[in-house]
Every structure is written in C-alpha cells, then in structure tokens.
Amino acid sequence: MGRIICVANQKGGVGKTTTTVNLAAALADMRKKVLLIDLDPQGNATMGCGVDKYALDNSVLEVLLGELPARRAVRPSIQDLFDVLPANGDLTAAEVQLLDAPMRERRLALALEPVRNEYDYILIDCPPSLNMLTLNALVAADGVLVPIQTEYYALEGLSALLNTIEQIKAHRNPRLDLEGIVRTMHDPRNNLANDVSGQLISHFQDKVFRTVIPRNVRVAEAPSHGMPVMLYDKSSRGSISYMALASEMARRHQPQTISV
C-alpha cells in the first residue's frame, strides 16, 4: 500500500512546493512509483512538473467534488517521471463548495482509496494555510513532512501545525504522524541558520532529517523551466540533496530486519 505524505507548513516561502516536486522526482529516479497531488490553488507544483495549469480539462477540483475518479484526472509529469493530479485557480471554488458537502474533510481520502495501491508514494502539496484543502490532505495522509527554512521566525507556526496534527490524529485520522522535518534554504556560513538548525535537532531529534537542502540557484531556476532540478541540472548541489533526502526517506520505510 502506498504511503501518503502531505508536505505542509502554515508559513509560506519555506520551500514546500519545491520540496514536493523535487522529492517526487528523486523518489521516481529510485524507481518508486509516485503520484504528486497539487492541492494549492496557485498550481505551482503543477507547473513545476511540466503540466500547463492553464490547459487542464480536469483537475483535483473535480475529484474533490466527486465529479470524476482520481485516475481520470491524473496526468504524466515531464518525461513521464511520475504522475500528477494537477490544480489551478479553479480549486479556490472547492473551499466554498466543500463547506456544505457531506464528509467534507474525507473527500480526498475516499478518492485515493481506489488508486493508493498503484503507488509507492503519494505526495500532497498543501496550501500555506490551515483550510479545508489542508484538512483533506491531513485526513488522507499517513505522515506530514514539514519543510522549515533555517532562518529567523522559522519556528513560528510550527507548534500550531503540530497541535493540528495531534488533534486530527485524535479525532479524524489515527494513522497520522509527523513524517519528519526537513531543513531548507540552508546556508552553513550563516551563524543564525546553524543556530536554528541546532534548535530543531535539540527539540525534535530523530524527526529531523539528516539531509539538509542548501540554498541553490539551480533549484530556484528549475520551476521556470517546468521541471524538477534533477532534470534541469542533476549535478547541482540542490539536486544531489533532494536525491539524498529521498534515499533517507525510503530507508526509514524499509522493514527492520532482526538478526538472530
């Protein structure tokens, strides 16, 4: 059964979409079957996968509203690396329409049940706010991956997100857990960045991934070309870091063998 991971942080500008797209590509490069779900009306993850958000016949909106099965809305990413359930500005309509819908917070979970076994990983790019879309992602997910920029105010909003995870685990989705925290846009020459990094490890210990994503111009440039950084420049520091993150994540999910 595929593991569903939502990538979430209520604070914007932390590399959430960048992490979702590049982690999906890196896992696919490891021959994992991956579905990326864009749940942000901005549609940046969709465009970053090489899918034109302005030319969609169907999107995640129709899936959430029960008008279309997920399988029929899935599109291939650039070079057919992985699958994409795309989004665009039409998704803002879901916010209003889901408010009065039956089982409104379970729409995504129910839609993914028929396709979940077809993938090793399903990654969900959440909007940078706690709304009905994010709630759907959290109810559907097994884990939450939290990208955090190692800068001032990095911990702002993190405690609120962790409290939300605990509440949803208690009342809506007992499977939900903190997948881990990944440090993004890190500059090791910056004393503050190193201090924030140390604080994260001190508070969350092994929940912090060892892999650190550096500030890297190639990572920033890749979305404008509609591709993950590993297709744009596979030898760049950013690409290597995301491949290391994917490898570390995959190792965490390997069954533990007991030696006799």
For residue 116, give every residue at least 6 positions away whose Cβ sits within 8 Å of its Cβ, in sequence order, or none.
Answer: 1, 2, 4, 122
Domain 3-249 CATH superfamily: P-loop containing nucleotide triphosphate hydrolases (3.40.50.300)
Strand order in the sheet with 75-76: 75-76, 83-85, 34-38, 121-125, 3-7, 143-149, 177-186, 208-214
- For the chain, the average pLDDT equals 91
Which tens digit of pLDDT belongs to each residue from 115-131?
999 999 999 999 988 88
CA distance between the termini of the chain: 28
Domain locations in the chain as residue ranges: 3-249
Q: Which pLDDT belongs to residue 95? A: 80
Distance CA 50, CA 78 (A): 5
For residue 101, give every residue at least 6 positions away whose Cβ sits within 8 Å of its Cβ, in sequence order, or none.
Answer: 65, 107
What global pTM score does this model have?
A: 0.94
Residue 260 has pLDDT above 60, yes or no: no
Sequence-ordered strand ranges (E) for the chain: 3-7, 34-38, 75-76, 83-85, 121-125, 143-149, 177-186, 208-214
Distance CA 70, CA 113 (A): 9
Q: How far is CA 228 from CA 87, 118, 144, 150, 177, in A?
A: 17, 22, 21, 22, 27
Which tens digit of pLDDT belongs to each residue from 84-105?
999 999 999 888 888 888 889 9
- Nearest-CA neighbor of 154 among 120, 201, 221, 110? 201
Which tens digit of pLDDT belongs to each residue from 205-224?
999 999 999 988 999 999 99
Q: What single-letter DSSP state applies at residue 242?
A: H
Split at pLDDT 50, 70, 90, the class of 255 is low
Which tens digit of pLDDT belongs to each residue from 34-70?
999 999 999 999 999 999 999 999 999 999 999 999 9
Q: Which pLDDT belongs to residue 256? A: 57
Average pLDDT over residues 156-163: 82
